[in-house]
Chain A
């Protein structure tokens, strides 16, 4: 539009209705449309379509890969948890077993100790009985001597010692 109105003869009306220019416009429009159509259908559109589907494929592939990795991570977590649970159970078992063993050991030891205590008690009882028996005989001896002395002092002469001992024994055992 470099030309000023004074340079160009001004035609009245709309240039759109100047039919002398129609063949020119139609011709160049035809050329243009054909050119654009070939550029688009032969080069641009297949290329863009390929790029878009490539991208779609890549995204889908990446998502699938991520899914896979996620699955792996989940598997690892489950096996870890399983191992943890197993270890816990084992630890519990060990603790329980140990407890049982210790209980059994304790019971055995207690039983041993009871036996020993019973032995000792028997022994002591025996000793006590011996001492008791000894004491009894010595008491008897002392009593006999005293009785003989008393009898000999009361009635000097013949003393029937056997009789005295007999009667003393009788009295003491009563």
Chain B
């Protein structure tokens, strides 16, 4: 019997988790759909000319994803915050990796799929309703003859109207997985108030990072050097005509790849060890 990961055992864990939480999850999905519908209804009521444009859909999707996703992630290992529940959870004959993978399946994969499904189940009919309103009531922008175009359904994969320069839209989605993983870690790390404590910790880490980039890094640069913009730590310029120092392109690509894709798995890795070391 494999003591680290056994698919059959993991599947039993998944079955148990679903049996215990399915009512809660289904109700939460209904509530999410209801809230989105209410928000879209409000937008339709106040704006009859350009309701539910792509930017509004984009922000609704991502705001909901960040807020609900992080809130949910912070409850994934909430059992560990209560002595009685933690004893029961840690005593289940499954490995720590299986327990973590079960948490990731529900908190990261299934939540993302279910949230996206609920979003489109609300979004598609509401966008169609918005188009009906435009066709029925105002086909032109007020005081002009320019026609109001048909509202399109948000396509998450082309990210039109995303508020990011250089078409780096996927960073918002990747950023979500990083932030959510931090909340997942927070749910193991903190006994109580995991959600709030994780927010405070993220903000503190962010503050330290910004201070380091804004002030600390300058201390390490040679005399007369400074760097241009915070976060662009690979471009340095001297006073006078700008002279940029860049990493070799291959190394730069590797670093960008690692920063984009490795932070979330790294946080899962830390979560695994926290789970392993958990005492109750």
Partners in one complex: no
